[in-house]
């Protein structure tokens, strides 16, 4: 599949989607968001994809934010539509049944931080810079940043970061709990791919069940969350993944999951 503003490829069950507007530091414009939606369509329908990685083209930026030249021309109605479009796309990203890893290789500001927050977890280059600086433009985050950041770092820290609009390095993002791992710039994709391959080697049914159980349970009480978990566990037991995994354990061999969602 060929795009103008994205690069999309699949290798051994791992899909990589690269934001590809390096001259604009991969800023999110309407054309890129349209293509992003099309790419998500492809990911959703391709059951051979077990893991999705997002990263940015070039050495400077993951996504440097929304395209300010487009924002400056918007009226209240078009601005609301733009925000709603981005929110829906990032919610689709977050709701994908497969694991999604953000490989943040440079500036991840505004919409860049927001798209990374919608992934399951983030690995970042030591050169990465995060932040929601919309307040410095007289705006606020519009692609879910006020909501997802608060759920990760807590209300008080989210208020400080959003009210000041300050940017912060990958090491601080790791300390805040935003980033899982900080890597040397030249090893970032190697580390991301190592983790992606480890995940892709697991059973598709159990991966999807684990992600759904975590997602369904994070905003409910413990008892309700555990009910979600029990339902998902029961469905896993009926899958080919479970039959292969348990047989491999008993036979003292490595499990060979086929990636099928069939039971």
Q: Is the pLDDT of residue 259 over 70?
A: no
CATH code for the domain in which residue 170 is found: 3.90.226.10
Q: Is the pLDDT of residue 34 over 80?
A: yes
Report yes or no on 175 lying in a domain.
Answer: yes
Identify the pLDDT of residue 71.
86
Report yes or no on 117 lying in a domain.
Answer: yes
- Please report the DSSP string for 185-200 in residue order: GGGHHHHHHHHHHHHH
Q: Is the pLDDT of residue 1 over 80?
A: no
Per the CB < 8 A criterion, the answer to whether 157 and 225 are in contact is no
Looking at the fold, whether 55 and 121 belong to one and the same domain comes out as: yes
Looking at the fold, whether 139 and 229 belong to one and the same domain comes out as: no
Q: Both tokens of residue 202?
A: 């697991």
Domain count for the chain, please give it. Answer: 2
Q: What are phi and psi of 138, to 5 degrees?
A: 80, 20
Identify the pLDDT of residue 262.
58
Looking at the fold, whether 18 and 109 belong to one and the same domain comes out as: yes
Report yes or no on 1 lying in a domain.
Answer: no
Looking at the fold, whether 169 and 222 belong to one and the same domain comes out as: no
Per the CB < 8 A criterion, the answer to whether 64 and 107 are in contact is yes
Looking at the fold, whether 196 and 70 belong to one and the same domain comes out as: yes
Looking at the fold, whether 245 and 192 belong to one and the same domain comes out as: no
- Kindly give the residue spans of alpha helices, DSSP state H, lying in the chain: 30-45, 68-71, 76-95, 111-117, 145-153, 155-164, 170-176, 188-200, 204-217, 222-237, 240-250
Q: Is the pLDDT of residue 261 over 80?
A: no
With a pLDDT cut of 70, the percent of the chain lying above it is: 98
Q: Both tokens of residue 18?
A: 């690269």
Q: Which positions are catalytic?
A: 114, 134
Report yes or no on 259 lying in a domain.
Answer: no
> Which pLDDT tens digit goes with each residue over 208-254?
999 999 999 988 999 999 999 999 999 999 888 899 899 999 999 99
Looking at the fold, whether 221 and 128 belong to one and the same domain comes out as: no
> Which pLDDT tens digit goes with each residue over 135-179?
999 999 999 999 999 999 999 999 999 999 999 999 999 999 999
Q: Is the pLDDT of residue 263 over 60?
A: no
Looking at the fold, whether 137 and 63 belong to one and the same domain comes out as: yes
Q: What are phi and psi of 54, to 5 degrees?
A: -110, 135
Range of weakest confidence among 13-17, 107-111, 194-198, 247-251: 247-251
How far CA 156 is from CA of 17, 137, 149, 163, 259, in Å, comes to: 33, 22, 11, 10, 42
Q: Residue 240's domain spans which residues?
A: 204-250
Report yes or no on 191 lying in a domain.
Answer: yes
Report yes or no on 262 lying in a domain.
Answer: no
Report yes or no on 261 lying in a domain.
Answer: no
Looking at the fold, whether 219 and 108 belong to one and the same domain comes out as: no
Per the CB < 8 A criterion, the answer to whether 93 and 118 are in contact is yes
Looking at the fold, whether 165 and 50 belong to one and the same domain comes out as: yes
Give the whole-angstrom CA distance, residue 233 versus residue 259. Answer: 18
Looking at the fold, whether 97 and 191 belong to one and the same domain comes out as: yes
pLDDT band at 54 (very low <50, low <70, confident <90, very high): very high
Identify the pLDDT of residue 66.
87
Identify the pLDDT of residue 258.
77
CATH code for the domain in which residue 232 is found: 1.10.12.10
Per the CB < 8 A criterion, the answer to whether 69 and 31 are in contact is no
Looking at the fold, whether 10 and 108 belong to one and the same domain comes out as: yes
Report yes or no on 257 lying in a domain.
Answer: no
Q: Is the pLDDT of residue 68 over 90?
A: no
């Amino acid at each position: 599949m060929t795009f103008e503003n994205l690069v999309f490829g699949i290798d051994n069950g791992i899909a990589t989607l690269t934001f590809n507007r390096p001259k604009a530091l991969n800023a999110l414009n309407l054309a890129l968001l349209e293509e992003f939606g099309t790419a998500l369509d492809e990911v959703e329908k391709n059951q051979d994809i077990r893991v999705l990685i997002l990263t940015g083209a070039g050495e400077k930026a993951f996504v440097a934010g929304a395209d300010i030249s487009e924002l400056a021309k918007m009226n209240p109605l078009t601005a609301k539509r733009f925000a709603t479009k981005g929110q829906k796309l990032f919610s689709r990203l977050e709701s994908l049944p497969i694991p999604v890893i953000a490989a943040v290789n440079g500036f991840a500001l505004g919409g860049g931080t927001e798209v990374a927050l919608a992934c399951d977890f983030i690995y970042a280059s030591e050169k990465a810079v995060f932040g929601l600086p919309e307040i410095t433009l007289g705006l606020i985050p519009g692609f879910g940043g006020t909501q997802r950041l608060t759920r990760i770092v807590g209300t008080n820290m989210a208020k400080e970061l959003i009210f000041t609009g300050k940017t912060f390095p990958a090491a601080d993002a790791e300390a805040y709990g935003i980033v899982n791992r900080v890597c040397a710039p030249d090893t970032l994709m190697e580390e991301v791919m190592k983790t992606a391959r480890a995940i892709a080697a697991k059973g598709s049914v159990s991966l999807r069940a684990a992600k759904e159980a975590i997602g369904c349970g994070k905003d409910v009480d413990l008892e309700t969350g555990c009910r979600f978990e029990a339902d998902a566990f029961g469905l896993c037991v009926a899958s080919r993944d479970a039959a292969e995994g348990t047989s491999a354990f008993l036979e003292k061999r490595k499990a060979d999951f086929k990636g099928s969602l069939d039971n």
